Amino acid sequence: MPLSPLNPVYPYPLPVLRNPITGAPMAPSTDLSEIRDAYKTLFKDQYTPIANNLLRELSFIVTTTATTTGSRTTLPFAMDDTLAVTMPSASAWPTTGLGDAVSKEGNRAYMYYLKDVVNDLRFFCGYVEAAGDTLQELSALNGNANDQAHVLLDKLQCYDQLCRETVKEFSEHFKYNFSSDTWEEVYDAINPTTYAVNPQVKDPTTTTPIPYATLTNLREMRVACTDPTGVNTKPINTFNELSKLDKLKYIKWYYNLILKTSNPQPQTVFPDDLQTGYPCLPDKVSTSGTEDTKALGALELFYIGYLISRDGPINALSSFFEIKTQALRQNISLMMGNIEAMNQFLTFLNRGLDLLNSSQAEKEKAHRIPDAAALALRFFCEGTLRGLKELTIGNKKEHYLVLSCNEKRTDDGYSVTKSGNYLLVKADMTGLDSFLGTKILKNDEWPVHDGDKKDHPHIFYDGTAGNSGGTTSDGFLYVTERIIRGENTDRLKLEESYKLPGQHGCDIYRQFEYANSSYSGDNANKPEVLGETVFVEGENVRVNERVVYHPTSTNDILLAQFTDPDGPDVKSWLPKAIKVDSVLFGSVLHGDDGRWFLKDEATNTTVSSWTTAFTNKTQYINTAIESINNEVAIMRTKIDTFDSAATTFRNNASDTYKNILSRIG
């Protein structure tokens, strides 16, 4: 049934039929069929493809990773000829950030723009969907239904306006006009048949040549500007020169380049901690992987853009200085943490040395070097020293030393296979007591290797006898490995092993392995456990930040495990290494065959060599603390400068405020 004409008192302008932004409204009409068809064309042929293009681009941005090219094929939104609209399902909308491998602040900036884009697109799709429903209602009107028609047309006008505003936001950005020497808000033309917004951050997978193959290129990207001779390009000055989708894409591309497997780039943040650092270009970039980035450099363009977008241009300067002070405070917190960590290292070293000395107290007896001293020598003299790791166990925050092997040994040419396992020892006296013990046993107190005294950290026992119900898992952490005299391998290992199925925990054990095949059999590969923790799977066992712990246990010694030893999640989880010189195990005298644990091999000369090692390492740590003192002096100067800036800034504000008040008064 043809629709009756509308009351001519209320003629309706026909919707825009060309570009929703630049097109001019057509003449008013009272022909309801004409108006309906015009709206149908508008929503079907313009807004729907624009929505699809925007969704497709969003899908492409979020699915592109450092190693894949992503896809633009996802088209979750469609309006067919009957105007039935299919909205993207709830799960189709991206909600996650860039992952643990990206700094928390970088993720925050990305999520800010992502949420903005998703929110706008959800509303946009909702408007188009509602318009489809309204058009169907309009088609279903019978005979004279002027009043209803007016209501529905008002709705369509409203949806048109809302869609237009949304599309406008997606095309909005700033452009510099050299003629007028001003920045202008500009809106790109929207082409519904190709791509929704002219991309400034271009797709490197389809554009030749690839425009932003490196971070340097991305940072120096050029955008369109207007000068007296016509449209040209210039290096980007402000993040607001990019459209909404391009801002999101810029951040994604930035981290794609950083995380790219084939050519990863340093992710520079200050302070040098992905949890607390701000994306920046430090004056001095740490490339060693062990040394902290000490200088507070310039914040990255996209991060400043994020601050301005979030807080408004009015607050740009305040936000900027607030971030700077926050970054310096975070850095101070890290430095204090490092000092505290080094204090813990000193405490553990001292305990090792203390026990070594105690073992030599009775000279008339045969003596051996205690295992605790060996552990201290391995982990604290030779191993990589890191900052403390904070874990929330239950509702309580605990701090742990993170112990691991050197990733590669060069003194004996033996490469170490990393397992992704890290030993965590509580950074307090209970952790110290559990890890190194409080006393040594005399020779006649040493237990038989029957496993009866396995709970004493200084007692080793044969883990194969009666105590091994499970199978040896994969993933050794070779704390140290040495080929001794070219025949045998003496190892200290961290391993989740000798546990019954369903049990978790870790053993620290020594393994003496005969390289000579003639020494096979029971004596080969025989592990001797120095300490262990065991947790049984069940509701009382919790997994937190990759660490299995027991809520009612002291959790003095824990094991953190990573599937991929070189994965980005390991890097983001690990506290930064503290630069302290090492005392290599190989430089310390041992018994005749390099072992420390046989009771007749600890000569005075050997013990003296160990003592020197502990003393030297203590001095190295002290040197590192002195180095921090130097950094403090540099930081004090920076803070003096900031203090001055703050005063100037506040004085300016105060003066301005007074001027305004005087005018009002």
Partner 1 sequence: MNLYDEYKEPGESAMEELKKLDERLKVLQKKFASSKTDNVQDSLFTSDNLKSAIGLLKTINPSEKNMVRSLETLVPLAEKPNEVLGHLNSKKNAATHGPEVVSTPFTKQLKCKLPQNRLI
Minimal distance in Å, beta carbon 477 to partner 1?
25
Minimal distance in Å, beta carbon 618 to partner 1?
6
Nearest CA to 160 out of 39, 49, 6, 23 is that of: 39
**What mask of x and - would describe binding to partner 1 in positions 609 to 628, judged by CB under 8 A?**
--x---x--x--xx--xx-x
Name residues contacting partner 1, limited to 384-403 (CB under 8 A).
Answer: 388, 390, 397, 399
Q: Which of 84, 92, 140, 316 binds partner 1 (CB under 8 A)?
A: 316
Minimal distance in Å, beta carbon 473 to partner 1?
32
Q: Which of 232, 326, 415, 563 binds partner 1 (CB under 8 A)?
A: 326
At residue 85, φ and ψ (nearest 5 deg) are -105, 135
Minimal distance in Å, beta carbon 98 to partner 1?
19
DSSP one-letter code for 463:
T
Kindly report the three-state secondary structure assignment for every residue of 255-299: HHHHHCCCCCCCCCEECCCCCCCEEEECCCCCCCCCCCCCCCCEE
At residue 171, φ and ψ (nearest 5 deg) are -100, -5
- Written as six digits, the tokens of 3 are 């629709």
Kindly report the three-state secondary structure assignment for every residue of 312-374: CHHHHHHHHHHHHHHHHHHHHHHHHHHHHHHHHHHHHHHHHHHHHHHHCCCCCCCCCCCHHHH
In this structure, how many other beta carbons lie within 10 angstroms of the beta carbon of residue 67? 10
Q: Which of 239, 379, 380, 620 binds partner 1 (CB under 8 A)?
A: 239
Name residues contacting partner 1, limited to 628-657 (CB under 8 A).
Answer: 628-629, 632, 635-636, 639, 641-646, 648-650, 652-654, 656-657
In the complex with partner 1, which residue's Cβ is closer, 62 or 356?
A: 356
DSSP one-letter code for 72:
S
Minimal distance in Å, beta carbon 644 to partner 1?
7
Mapping DSSP to helix (H, G, I), strand (E, B) and coil, where does residue 602 land? coil
Minimal distance in Å, beta carbon 654 to partner 1?
8
C-alpha 241/C-alpha 224 separation (Å) is: 9
Minimal distance in Å, beta carbon 482 to partner 1?
24
Q: Which of 188, 300, 371, 601 binds partner 1 (CB under 8 A)?
A: 300
In the complex with partner 1, which residue's Cβ is closer, 164 or 454?
A: 164
- Which amino acid does the sequence have at 84? A
Minimal distance in Å, beta carbon 301 to partner 1?
5
In the complex with partner 1, which residue's Cβ is closer, 367 or 482?
A: 367
Minimal distance in Å, beta carbon 246 to partner 1?
16
Minimal distance in Å, beta carbon 414 to partner 1?
30
In the complex with partner 1, which residue's Cβ is closer, 324 or 579?
A: 324
In the complex with partner 1, which residue's Cβ is closer, 131 or 621?
A: 621
Q: Which of 18, 329, 365, 442 binds partner 1 (CB under 8 A)?
A: 329
Name residues contacting partner 1, limited to 578-607 (CB under 8 A).
Answer: 604, 607
Name residues contacting partner 1, limited to 248-287 (CB under 8 A).
Answer: 281, 283
Minimal distance in Å, beta carbon 518 to partner 1?
38
In the complex with partner 1, which residue's Cβ is closer, 519 or 657?
A: 657
Contact yes or no for 272/292 (Cβ under 8 A): yes
In the complex with partner 1, which residue's Cβ is closer, 174 or 422?
A: 174
C-alpha 36/C-alpha 24 separation (Å) is: 18
Name residues contacting partner 1, limited to 158-197 (CB under 8 A).
Answer: 174, 176, 181-183, 185
Q: Is 575 left (phi over 0), alpha (psi -120 to 50) or beta?
A: beta
**What mask of x and - would describe binding to partner 1 in positions 408 to 427, judged by CB under 8 A?**
-------------------x
Minimal distance in Å, beta carbon 345 to partner 1?
10
- Written as six digits, the tokens of 154 are 């008002």
Minimal distance in Å, beta carbon 28 to partner 1?
28
Nearest CA to 346 out of 289, 385, 372 is that of: 385
Contact yes or no for 508/522 (Cβ under 8 A): no
Minimal distance in Å, beta carbon 574 to partner 1?
16
Q: Which of 21, 141, 317, 589 binds partner 1 (CB under 8 A)?
A: 317
C-alpha 255/C-alpha 65 separation (Å) is: 9
Contact yes or no for 12/146 (Cβ under 8 A): no
The verdict on 96 binding partner 1 (CB under 8 A) reads: no
- Written as six digits, the tokens of 502 are 């369903």
Burial class (CB in 10 A: 0-12, 13-18, 19+), 188: buried
Q: Which of 311, 513, 537, 569 binds partner 1 (CB under 8 A)?
A: 311
Candidate ranges 242-250, 297-305, 498-506, 577-585; the one touching partner 1 (CB under 8 A): 297-305
In the complex with partner 1, which residue's Cβ is closer, 146 or 347?
A: 347
In the complex with partner 1, which residue's Cβ is closer, 213 or 646?
A: 646
Q: Which of 238, 265, 525, 553 binds partner 1 (CB under 8 A)?
A: 238
Contact yes or no for 170/183 (Cβ under 8 A): no
**What mask of x and - would describe binding to partner 1 in positions 193 to 222, judged by CB under 8 A?**
------------------------------
**What mask of x and - would describe binding to partner 1 in positions 468 to 507, judged by CB under 8 A?**
----------------------------------------
How many residues make contact with partner 1 (CB under 8 A)?
Answer: 95
Contact yes or no for 114/306 (Cβ under 8 A): no
Candidate ranges 33-41, 316-324, 447-455, 471-479; the one touching partner 1 (CB under 8 A): 316-324
Q: Rounded to whole angstroms, what are the CA distances from 14 to 274, 285, 478?
A: 54, 60, 76
Strand order across the 269-270 sheet: 269-270, 278-281, 298-299
C-alpha 361/C-alpha 38 separation (Å) is: 100
Residue 532, strand partner residues: 507
The verdict on 536 binding partner 1 (CB under 8 A) reads: no
C-alpha 282/C-alpha 277 separation (Å) is: 11
Contact yes or no for 158/41 (Cβ under 8 A): no
Name residues contacting partner 1, limited to 36-75 (CB under 8 A).
Answer: none
The verdict on 608 binding partner 1 (CB under 8 A) reads: yes
C-alpha 234/C-alpha 236 separation (Å) is: 6
In the complex with partner 1, which residue's Cβ is closer, 380 or 509?
A: 380
Burial class (CB in 10 A: 0-12, 13-18, 19+), 404: buried
**What mask of x and - would describe binding to partner 1 in positions 330 to 369, judged by CB under 8 A?**
x-xx-xxx-xx-xx--xx--x--xx--xx-x---------
